[in-house]
C-alpha cells in the first residue's frame, strides 16, 4: 500500500472573492469541505493544510486537518506557483519529520463539491501504474482550440492556434478531435515528481474525465455551489 498525503493549499489573499477559502457556505467555511473530502477518503493517510494565515490554520485544525507549518507569505500571492507551495511542504515534512509520502493528492479549497469515489479512483490508478508521474482531472472543453486564433495586435492579421490539422478552422466541429481542459478539482502525483523533477506533473500525465466542475472564483459561482449543496443536504 502507498503512503498517501493530501495537501490543501489555502492562501489568505483573494481579490475575486474576499477570503473565499474560509467564506461560509451553508454555515461551513469553504475550506472545511475539502478537509472533509480528504478525511472521508479511506486511501488517504494524512491530511494537511498549507496556509500563510494563522486564522486559516485555526479553522483547518478545527475541522480535523494538520497544519504543521505556516507557509511563507511569498507563496501566497496571485502569482505564486503550486510548485513552490508543494516543494516547501514536502521539504518541511522530510526535514522535520523524515516523512516522505509515495503519493500526494492536491485538493484545492475552491472546490467544495467533489466525489470521494473520484479521489479514490485516481489514487488506485496511480498505485497500479507506477510508470505514470501524475493524474489530473479533465473535462470536455466547451470551446475547442482548433477554431482559435492568434491575432497580431499591430496588423490585425490572424494565424491559427492549432496547425497539426490543415485548415482545421474550416472543418465541422464533429470531425475534429475531442479536447479537454484541466479543471483542477483533484490532482494526484508522486512526491518525487515535485522534489526530484521540480514539476507538478512530471513527464507522463494521465487524465481522469469528469463532467461537473464547481470551482469558485466569482460571486456567481459561489452562489451556484451554495444552492447545489443546499439541495444535497
- Helix, strand, or coil (residue 141): coil
Beta strands 134-140 and 205-209: pairing type?
parallel
Same domain, 107 and 160: no
Same domain, 75 and 111: yes
What is the pTM assigned to this prediction? Answer: 0.89
Same domain, 119 and 208: yes
Same domain, 52 and 153: no
pLDDT above 60 (res 182): yes
Same domain, 130 and 226: yes
Residue 186 · residue 125 · CB < 8 Å: no
Rounded (5°) CA angle 183-13-49? 65
Same domain, 16 and 110: yes
Q: How far apart, in whole angstroms, are the C-alpha atoms of residue 108 and residue 215?
A: 9
For 152, the domain range is 145-174
Same domain, 95 and 209: yes
Q: Give the phi and the psi of residue 173 in degrees, each rounded to 5.
A: -55, -35
At 19, the pLDDT band (50, 70, 90 cuts) reads confident
Mean per-residue pLDDT for 15-41?
Answer: 88
pLDDT, one tens digit per residue, over 85-112 is 999 999 999 999 999 999 999 999 989 9
Same domain, 214 and 167: no
At 218, the pLDDT band (50, 70, 90 cuts) reads low
Q: What is the pLDDT of residue 224?
A: 72
How does the average pLDDT of the chain come out, rounded?
91
At 171, the pLDDT band (50, 70, 90 cuts) reads very high
Q: What is the pLDDT of residue 119?
A: 97
Q: What is the pLDDT of residue 66?
A: 98
Q: How far apart, in whole angstroms, are the C-alpha atoms of residue 66 and residue 92?
A: 13
Q: What is the pLDDT of residue 80?
A: 81
Instruction: Decide: residue 169, CB within 10 A, 0-12 exposed, 13-18 middle, 19+ buried.
Output: middle
The region of weakest confidence among 133-137, 153-157, 183-187 is 183-187
Amino acid at each position: 500500500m502507498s503512503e498517501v498525503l493530501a495537501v490543501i493549499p489555502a492562501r489568505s489573499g483573494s481579490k475575486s472573492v474576499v477570503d473565499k477559502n474560509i467564506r461560509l457556505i451553508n454555515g461551513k467555511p469553504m475550506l472545511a469541505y475539502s478537509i472533509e473530502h480528504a478525511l472521508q477518503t479511506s486511501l488517504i493517510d494524512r491530511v494537511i493544510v498549507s496556509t500563510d494565515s494563522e486564522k486559516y490554520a485555526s479553522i483547518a485544525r478545527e475541522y480535523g486537518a494538520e497544519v504543521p507549518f505556516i507557509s511563507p507569505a511569498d507563496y501566497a500571492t496571485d502569482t505564486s506557483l503550486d510548485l513552490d507551495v508543494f516543494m516547501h511542504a514536502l521539504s518541511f515534512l522530510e526535514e522535520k519529520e523524515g516523512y516522505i509520502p509515495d503519493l500526494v493528492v492536491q485538493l484545492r479549497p475552491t472546490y467544495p463539491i467533489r466525489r470521494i469515489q473520484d479521489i479514490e479512483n485516481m489514487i488506485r490508478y496511480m498505485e497500479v501504474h507506477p510508470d505514470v508521474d501524475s493524474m489530473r482531472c479533465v473535462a470536455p472543453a466547451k470551446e475547442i482550440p482548433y477554431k482559435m486564433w492568434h491575432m497580431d495586435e499591430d496588423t490585425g492579421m490572424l494565424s491559427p492556434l492549432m496547425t497539426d490539422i490543415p485548415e482545421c478552422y474550416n472543418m465541422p466541429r464533429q470531425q475534429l478531435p475531442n479536447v479537454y481542459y484541466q479543471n483542477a478539482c483533484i490532482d494526484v502525483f508522486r512526491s518525487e515528481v515535485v522534489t526530484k523533477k521540480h514539476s507538478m506533473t512530471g513527464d507522463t500525465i494521465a487524465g481522469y474525465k469528469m463532467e461537473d466542475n464547481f470551482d469558485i472564483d466569482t460571486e456567481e459561482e459561489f452562489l451556484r455551489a451554495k444552492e447545489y449543496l443546499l439541495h444535497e443536504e
